[in-house]
Amino acid sequence: MKTDCTHCIYISDAAAKLAGCDLQLLSDNHIVVGFKKGDSIIKQGTYSTNVIFLRKGLVKIHITGPYSEQIVKLAKPPTYLGLPTTVGDKINQYSITALEDTEVCFIDMGTFKDLLKSNDEFAFEIIRSLCRYEIDSFRRCANRIQKQTRGNLAEVLLDMSKNIFSSDRFTIPLSQAEIGNLIDTSRESVSRMLSEFEKDGIIRMQGKHLEIINKRSLELISQNG
Amino acid sequence: MKTDCTHCIYISDAAAKLAGCDLQLLSDNHIVVGFKKGDSIIKQGTYSTNVIFLRKGLVKIHITGPYSEQIVKLAKPPTYLGLPTTVGDKINQYSITALEDTEVCFIDMGTFKDLLKSNDEFAFEIIRSLCRYEIDSFRRCANRIQKQTRGNLAEVLLDMSKNIFSSDRFTIPLSQAEIGNLIDTSRESVSRMLSEFEKDGIIRMQGKHLEIINKRSLELISQNG
DNA sequence: TATACATTGTGATTTAAATCACAAAATGCC
DNA sequence: GGCATTTTGTGATTTAAATCACAATGTATA
């Protein structure tokens, strides 16, 4: 499906810098594709010639580590995905999988490069976002490694609440096993810790639906391990 | 000290794309500064208005995590440092410290931005390198977390040998405590593991000087934990 | 050269979290 | 609705690695 970028409500910060004609170029060289929950959007090791713009939904970025699959981060719209692949060696260096029903734009790489070249504001926004990603990734890694597991779980819950769902009540988009490989712990530990949080009156759970009752406690746990 | 970029032997891949006049602009708007081993080049939390180009030496990039200082990665020339800071919010998000006597160019941020805007090849090279950093950082984080400590230590030694010193004999530029916070383990564990590697005839050590005797073993340890 | 400070080596003990093992729910599907 | 598969809960046991404690080096520098 083709859509008109000039009136798209899902537009990126970078694309917002594009002038009408460049935006038209973008319009003419992309297709919108829908993915269902669980669908693989890009797969590590495969060849790719598109930049992907996440316009709607929620995805996980994961890589196959030396032993197991590891979720690197969750990404929500609006954001470009798979930039490193496209600009680098064209082989996907990580996988991206939909956690909810998701819509993305596949943008032709040649077009994307042309835009970078012809529009310096666009390029600068892309550079800005890549820089942000790098810092985020340093920070995330340091946190994961230094904090104890409880702290990491608390942080993930807060992060979902604040940055992804903007609400104290939401449905966790991951299984406990997935949470485990996001915060580098075992499935069993996640289960135990969630029970503990619930017992302590910090959260309330019904299946995957979670409500944060005592945000302050959760923040303290997140900070102090 | 000012130097002439048009004949600089330390030039970056990105700057190599610059035409004469742009290179002259770069020449006119940077200064070269030397740092001694141990000197702080940029300090997390401080204000910065320069992009830094590492032209000679060796540095560590480290951030203050929730509990302790963590070395994120080592960087060797030629590379830009502190790009995220400059392009982002101007507050340094990490510290950079010289591990050897080091020379860097402080490049005026305005000039750098002008170059990005006026020269798309330059901008594209910068984007390319940022993308590489992101993937490296995903990979590093997954390795650190999944591998056991022995595997991480082996990997760091191999990395130094291969990518930094290009030799099987080199002087480790870090204390054991620093190695510990590069691979997220305690100083004591590093000491014990190095002794073990030496006992097993995999490496030979005299103070900080290290020689890799059995590279194959080290690779196996790196892969299998 | 003597003195202080930082780095390293190694044993003993503790600890957080993984793993193993199995039951109970929940979910999807024919 | 009933059957299979995935997900979750919880106890018992094991384990890698941290921490503690202290001695022995090394290395700056006054």
pLDDT per position as a tens digit, B52-96: 999 999 999 999 887 888 999 999 999 999 887 767 778 999 999
**CB of residue A176 closer than 7 A to nucleic acid strand D?**
yes
Question: Which of A199, A197, A162 shows the shortest CA–CA distance to A176?
Answer: A197
- Determine which of A116, A145, A152, A182 to mutate to test the interface with B (most B C-beta atoms within 10 Å): A145
Q: Are residues A115 and A19 in the same domain?
A: yes
B36 interfaces chain A, CB cutoff of 8 Å? no
Q: What residue type is B24 in one-letter code?
A: Q
Nearest to A134 among B120, B130, B142 (CB): B130
Give the position of tokens 């790009």.
B83
Name the residue of chain A whose CA is nearest to B225's CA: A66
Per the document, the length of chain B is 225
Closest chain B CA to residue A115: B120
- pLDDT tens for A156-176 read 999 999 999 999 999 999 999
- pLDDT exceeds 60 at position B1: no
As a whole number of Å, the CA-based R_g of chain A is: 19
The 10s digit of each residue's pLDDT in B119-129 is 888 888 899 89
Residue A11's pLDDT is 85
Q: How far apart are CA A22 and CA A120, in angstroms?
A: 12
Task: Tell me, yes or no, whether A211 and A122 share the same domain.
Answer: no
Which A residues 157-216 touch B at CB under 8 Å? 184
CATH classification at residue B206: 1.10.10.10
Paired tokens of A165:
């769902």
Task: Kindly list the residues from chain B whose CB atom is less than 8 angstroms away from the CB atom of residue A151.
Answer: 66
Cβ atoms of A59 and A74 within 8 Å: the answer is yes
Q: How far is A138 from chain B (nearest CA, A)?
A: 7
* A147 in reach of chain B (CB within 8 A): yes
- Indicate the angle between helix axes B109-118 and B20-28, nearest 10 degrees: 170
Shared domain for A175 and A109, answered yes or no, is no
Is A88 found in the same domain as A105? yes
Binary contact (A84, B118; C-beta < 8 A): no
How far from the centroid of its chain's Cα atoms is residue A210's Cα?
20
> Chains A, B: CB contacts under 8 A, how many?
144
Question: Tell me, what's the pLDDT at A16?
Answer: 84
A148: nearest nucleotide, CA–C1' criterion: C16
Q: What are the Cα distances from residue B166, in Å, to A138, B98, B201, B212?
A: 26, 19, 21, 12
Total domains present in chain A: 2
B36: amino acid identity, one letter: K
Are the Cβ atoms of B70 and A145 closer than 8 angstroms? yes
B126 close contact with A: CB closer than 8 A:
yes
Q: What is the pLDDT of residues B173-212, one digit of tens each?
A: 999 999 998 999 999 999 999 999 999 999 999 889 999 9
- Looking at the DSSP bridge assignments, the partners of residue B34 are B103
- In Å, what is the separation between the CA of A187 and the C1' of C26? 17
Which of B118, B144, B170 is where one domain is finished?
B144
Q: How is chain A split among helix, strand and coil, in percent rounded to 5?
A: 45, 25, 30
Q: Gap from A177 CA to C23 C1', in Å? A: 18
Q: Do A123 and B134 touch (CB under 8 A)?
A: no
CA B70 to chain centre: 13
Give the span between the Cα atoms of A151 and A71, in whole angstroms.
Answer: 17
Cβ separation B139–A63 shorter than 8 A: yes
Q: Domain boundary at A143, A174, A198, which? A: A143
Nucleotide with minimal C1' distance from the CA of A190 is D8
The pLDDT assigned to A171 comes to 94
What is the CA B136 to chain-centroid distance, rounded? 12
Q: How far apart are CA B106 and CA B112, in angstroms?
A: 10
Q: Do B116 and A118 touch (CB under 8 A)?
A: no
Six-digit token pair at B212?
């890799």
Cα(B39)–Cα(A171) distance, integer angstroms: 49
Whether residues A132 and A179 fall in one domain: no
pLDDT digits (tens, 9 = 90+) for B129-157: 999 999 999 988 888 888 889 999 999 99
Half-sphere exposure of A196 (CA within 13 A, CB side): 14
Q: Which domain holds residue B213?
A: 147-224
Are residue B140 and residue B77 in the same domain, yes or no?
A: yes
B79 in A contact zone (CB under 8 Å) = no
Summary mean pLDDT of chain A: 90
Structure confidence at residue B23 (pLDDT): 85
Distance, in Å, from the CA atom of A76 to the CA atom of A58, rounded to the nearest integer, reads 5
- Closest CB to A133 among B94, B134, B141: B134
- A153 and A101, same domain (yes or no): no
Strand D contact with A192 (CB < 7 A): yes
β-bridge mates for residue A56, sequence order: A103
Q: Which of A168, A175, A171, A141 has the alpha carbon at shortest distance from A60? A: A175
Q: Would you call A143 and B65 a contact, using CB atoms and an 8 Å cutoff?
A: yes
| Residue at which a domain ends, from A143, A168, A192 | A143
Q: Clarify whether residues A28 and A103 are in a common domain.
A: yes
Does one domain contain both A45 and A98? yes
Please report where in the chains the tokens 């990997």 appear, as a residue: B155
pLDDT confidence of residue A98: 94
Nearest to B13 by CA among B109, B134, B121, B104: B121
Contacts of B135 in chain A (CB under 8 A): 84, 88, 93-94
Mean pLDDT by 10 residues, chain A (225 residues): 79 83 84 91 90 94 86 93 78 92 91 88 89 90 88 96 95 95 94 95 92 94 82
Residue type, A222: S
List the B102 CA – C2 C1' distance (angstroms).
Answer: 33
Q: In this structure, are B122 and B15 located in the same domain?
A: yes
A121 lies in the same domain as A151: no
Phi and psi at residue A158, in whole multiples of 5°?
-65, -40
The reply to whether B191 and B111 lie within a common domain is: no
Domain at B98, CATH number: 2.60.120.10
The reported pLDDT for the residue numbered B84 is 79
